[in-house]
Amino acid sequence: MPKKKVVVLLPTYNEKNNVEKAANAVLAQEKNLPGWEIEVLISDSKSPDGTGEVAAQLAKKNPKIHYLSTGRGLGVGLIEGHTYAVKNLHPDILAQMDADGQVGWDVLPRLVKAIEEGYNLALGSRFVSGGANKLSPMRRLFSAGSSWVSRILIGPFDVKEVTNSARAFTPELFKKINLERLPWKEQTFIVQPAFLHEAVIAGAKYKEVPLVFGDRAEGYSKNKVLNYTYDVITYAVDARLHAWGINIPFFKVTRKAKTLIKFSLVGLLGTFVDFFFYKLFIGSFNIPPATSKGMSAELAIMNNFFFNNFWTFRSRKTNTNTWQRLGMFNLFSLGGLVMGVLIVKFLHTLYGDGFATVGNFKVAYNNFYFFATIPPVLVWNFTINHFITWKKQKD
């Protein structure tokens, strides 16, 4: 009887010191899989450390190893890799594992056996009986946390680990997955829970098998905790809306609008700072509203610069240094400040110091004056700082 074939995809980015060991470790699992032959496909996203060249050499020497050069991003490495395997390598099963050796290689025969049992999707899991997570307490907390959040928000809830890469599935299932909806071109690890989500929609019959997860021997993690958390939440909202029949590309739009959203969040925080001091100056120091606004706004500007520089625009390469940017930010915020003061002045002149009754509360007009300044000032600040203060360096 001819042997069946499993193609194991190893996506790599800067794994020069891991890739050869990984390919050999995968091939060595053949002895635990009677009736099966294993081939390895390395999909490298043009790693600057030269992983691609190493992989190309391995592929030249060993006909069981294949190499594919792909675009940047884990999702691209995975989806282009599997698509290539389906087209060119005639697999009975598609499998994937991380190339850094963090996952015990013996999960592979368990994944394949689950497919032989009749499931069309097998999922490696640290959190089922027999599995283990041998990371530092901090990273353990993060993986447990991200798995819980993804399980609850994205699902399916009966899967204990929805984020792990070690997986096997049938080419038939892969072909049914809606790649239009899967955000595989985005540079984020969201592709793992999202792939599972789309696979379930495509009719996956899934089973979890245990795996042991340890520390990296070489290299560094490419996962970005804050970005990933943001993606999990926005993707979950997208998936929920989709399940309710509301088809808007929420995830894609929020990713595109990410800078604006961060800038707005910083602005929101700044607004609290601003409002807090505004009320303090009026209430405790009897300073008139317009003057109070001027002083509270300057405090908020300092706050906002700090967060925009070290968070919103952190990864943007500019031609300026931090001090120059601080200067520009202050200058442009002055524009926003003048705008805010004029709006408050205008409204104050128009309506005076009255009170409005909202339900059972009496609310002073000066509160409304304050909030009326937010939308126009936000638009001004974002536009000018996006295009000038943190202007992208030309390559």
Residues that bind ligand GDP (CB under 6 A): 11-13, 15, 43-45, 70, 72-74, 77, 98-100, 102, 221-223
User: C-beta of 26: minimal distance to ligand GDP in Å?
Assistant: 12
Between CA 257 and CA 187 the distance in angstroms is 15
User: C-beta of 69: minimal distance to ligand GDP in Å?
Assistant: 9
Residue 302 and residue 308 in contact, taking contact as beta carbons nearer than 8 Å: no
Residue placing its CB nearer to ligand GDP in the complex, 40 or 99? 99
Cα 259 to Cα 51, 164, 169, 215, distances in angstroms? 31, 28, 36, 33
Residue placing its CB nearer to Mg ion in the complex, 39 or 98? 98
Residue placing its CB nearer to ligand GDP in the complex, 159 or 337? 159
Residue 104 φ then ψ, to 5°:
-60, 130
In degrees to the nearest 10, what's the CA dihedral of 50, 55, 57, 58? 150
Residue placing its CB nearer to ligand GDP in the complex, 68 or 337? 68
Pick what 13 binds: Mg ion, ligand GDP, none; C-beta below 5 to 8 Å, kind-dependent.
Answer: ligand GDP
Pick what 234 binds: ligand GDP, Mg ion, none; C-beta below 5 to 8 Å, kind-dependent.
Answer: none
User: C-beta of 275: minimal distance to ligand GDP in Å?
Assistant: 40
How many positions of this chain bind Mg ion (CB under 5 A)?
Answer: 3
User: C-beta of 124: minimal distance to Mg ion in Å?
Assistant: 13
Residue 379 and residue 332 in contact, taking contact as beta carbons nearer than 8 Å: no
How far is Cα of residue 324 from the mean position of the Cα atoms in its chain?
A: 31
User: C-beta of 81: minimal distance to ligand GDP in Å?
Assistant: 8
Residue placing its CB nearer to ligand GDP in the complex, 10 or 343? 10
Q: Does 100 contact Mg ion by CB under 5 A?
A: yes
Residue whose token pair is 């609290």: 272
Residue placing its CB nearer to ligand GDP in the complex, 3 or 46? 46
Residue placing its CB nearer to ligand GDP in the complex, 45 or 381? 45
Angle between helices 322-351 and 374-384 (to 10 degrees): 160
Query: What residues from 138 to 157 belong to the interface with Mg ion (CB under 5 A)?
Result: none
Q: Does 20 contact Mg ion by CB under 5 A?
A: no
Q: Is 261 exposed, middle or buried (0-12, 13-18, 19+ CB in 10 A)?
A: middle
Residue 210 φ then ψ, to 5°:
-70, 145
Pick what 80 binds: ligand GDP, Mg ion, none; C-beta below 5 to 8 Å, kind-dependent.
Answer: none
Contact region for Mg ion (CB under 5 A) — 54-62, 99-107, 203-211, 353-361? 99-107
Contact region for Mg ion (CB under 5 A) — 18-26, 94-102, 249-257, 359-367? 94-102
User: C-beta of 392: minimal distance to ligand GDP in Å?
Assistant: 21
Residue 296 and residue 276 in contact, taking contact as beta carbons nearer than 8 Å: yes
For residue 156, say if its preceding peptide bond is cis, omega within 30 degrees of 0: yes
User: C-beta of 145: minimal distance to Mg ion in Å?
Assistant: 17
Q: Which residues contact 101 (CB under 8 A, 6 or more apart)?
A: 18, 21, 22, 25, 216, 217, 218
Residue placing its CB nearer to Mg ion in the complex, 217 or 342? 217
- Member of 12, 45, 102, 292 binding Mg ion (CB under 5 A): 102
**Length of the chain measured in residues:** 395
3-class state of residue 359 by DSSP = coil
Residues forming the site for Mg ion (CB under 5 A): 98, 100, 102
